[in-house]
């Protein structure tokens, strides 16, 4: 437990201080985020706000992860390293996208195809490393391995790529209001601290050999997101950019895959799922019927245009995200107590 607290604390402080430094440097150099012209009118005032704050999240998580090993003589595992690779790799793809946006002063960075291929490359490398060098199960699982179906090495690798690419894009779509994605991510990563630690305490029930290290990764991401959120809360002094949203998405998907809870991620991260579905429904409806279901997608903009203040949307969505996280953990525990001979 002390290792988890130490890792989260170091990550929080590095992210907190690192984000402040980024704000000062980027503001001094007048490097800011262009705002989409078709967005809500109230967002026009956010033009020029520093972005790429996700770099502080990634740095905080990496430093916290390494520091926890040095200070506690803990052995870093291959499972933890593979997840951290996904976080850093996806973050670099996002950083390239953000850098093009701010240097060329436009709202579009990498082309959709280039960004997609970059994420696929990161996800594919993650899958190859996971199945080749870690004890990960290749089962399609909800709360633990062996409960559903074994996908095999190739099938699991394809599933891992789909989940990572899908989750990174889902978090990216959610990152449209000050602190919305950051707050929801804190809740989701906190759930994986609990899941990792619980699996560590009950190895015979879950069969995740590196569960404690995965909990440390989750703690580092939680602390890093909290440190960043201090500056990203409304009115935001900095945005996480694609650097942050893609790194967070890869981290969530990686932890879900390595903890054998890939299907449970849809419950824990239900807010991200709903935001993505709202975009898919909007596009499909307009292309098929020539009409829009929502005033604007993702759905958080729909409520803004209905007259909800931005902070109201954020807080209510945080509440819903927290409830979904609680439901996800409840399902995880409900499965545990149903196991023969399960002990708390």
Distance between terminal CA atoms of the chain?
A: 16
- Is the model more confident about 32 or about 102? 102
pTM score, two decimals?
Answer: 0.94
Mean pLDDT of 211-223: 97
CA distances from 322 to 39, 218, 248, 314 (A): 27, 16, 17, 12
Sign (positive or negative) of CA dihedral 262, 264, 269, 273: positive
The confidence band for 316, taking pLDDT boundaries of 50, 70 and 90, is: very high
Angle at 322 between CA 321 and CA 323, to 5 degrees: 90
Question: Which one is predicted more confidently, 227 or 48?
Answer: 227
Rounded Cα distance between 114 and 30, Å, is 27
pLDDT at residue 204 is higher than 70:
yes
- The yes-or-no verdict on residue 344 having pLDDT over 60 is no
Contact 157, 276 (CB under 8 A): no
What confidence score (pLDDT) does residue 43 get? 65
Confidence (pLDDT) at 273: 98
Q: Which residues sit opposite 139 in a β-bridge?
A: 150
What is the tens place of the pLDDT at every residue in 64-96? 999 988 877 667 899 999 999 999 999 999 999
Mean pLDDT of 3-29: 95
Query: How far is the C-alpha of 111 from the C-alpha of 113, rounded, in Å?
Result: 5
pLDDT of 259: 97
Q: SS3 helix, strand, coil % of the chain, rounded to 5?
A: 70, 0, 25
Q: Burial, 214: exposed, middle or buried (Cβ in 10 Å; 0-12, 13-18, 19+)?
A: buried
> What pLDDT digit, counting tens, does each position of 273-293 carry?
999 999 999 999 999 998 999
Distance separating alpha carbons of residues 257 and 172, to the nearest angstrom: 20
What is each CA distance from 91 to 131, 160, 254, in whole angstroms? Answer: 22, 17, 13
Q: For the chain, how long is the longest CA-to-CA vector?
A: 61
Residue 121: closest CA among 214, 239, 246: 246
Give just the sign of the alpha carbon dihedral 81, 93, 115, 121.
negative
């Amino acid at each position: 437990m002390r290792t988890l607290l130490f890792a989260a604390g170091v990550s929080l402080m590095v992210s907190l201080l690192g984000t402040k430094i980024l704000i000062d440097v980027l503001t001094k150099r007048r490097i800011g985020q262009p705002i989409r012209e078709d967005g809500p009118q109230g967002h026009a005032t956010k033009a020029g706000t520093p972005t790429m704050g996700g770099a502080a999240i990634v740095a905080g998580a990496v430093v916290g992860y390494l520091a926890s090993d040095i200070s506690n003589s803990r052995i870093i595992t291959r499972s933890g390293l593979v997840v951290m690779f996904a976080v850093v790799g996806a973050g670099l793809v996002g950083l390239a996208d953000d850098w093009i946006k701010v240097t060329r002063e436009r709202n579009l960075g990498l082309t959709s195809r280039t960004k997609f291929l970059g994420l696929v490359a990161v996800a594919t490398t993650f899958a190859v490393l996971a199945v080749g060098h870690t004890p990960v199960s290749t089962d399609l699982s909800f709360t633990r391995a062996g409960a559903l179906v074994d996908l095999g090495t190739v099938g699991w690798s394809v599933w891992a790529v789909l989940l990572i690419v899908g989750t990174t894009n889902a978090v990216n779509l959610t990152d449209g209001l000050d602190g919305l994605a950051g707050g929801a991510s804190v809740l989701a990563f906190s759930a994986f601290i609990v899941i990792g630690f619980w699996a560590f305490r009950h190895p015979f029930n879950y069969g995740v050999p590196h569960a404690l290290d995965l909990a440390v990764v989750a703690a580092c991401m939680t602390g890093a997101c909290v440190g960043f959120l201090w500056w990203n809360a409304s009115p935001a002094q900095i945005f996480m950019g694609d650097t942050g949203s893609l790194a967070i998405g890869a981290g969530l998907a990686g932890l879900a895959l390595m903890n054998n809870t890939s299907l449970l991620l849809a419950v824990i991260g239900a807010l991200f799922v709903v935001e993505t579905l709202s975009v898919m429904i909007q596009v499909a409806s307009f292309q098929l019927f020539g009409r829009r279901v929502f005033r604007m997608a993702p759905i958080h903009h729909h409520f803004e245009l209905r007259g909800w203040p931005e902070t109201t949307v954020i807080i209510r969505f945080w509440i819903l995200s927290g409830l979904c996280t609680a439901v996800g953990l409840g399902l995880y525990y409900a499965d545990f107590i149903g196991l023969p001979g399960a002990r708390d």
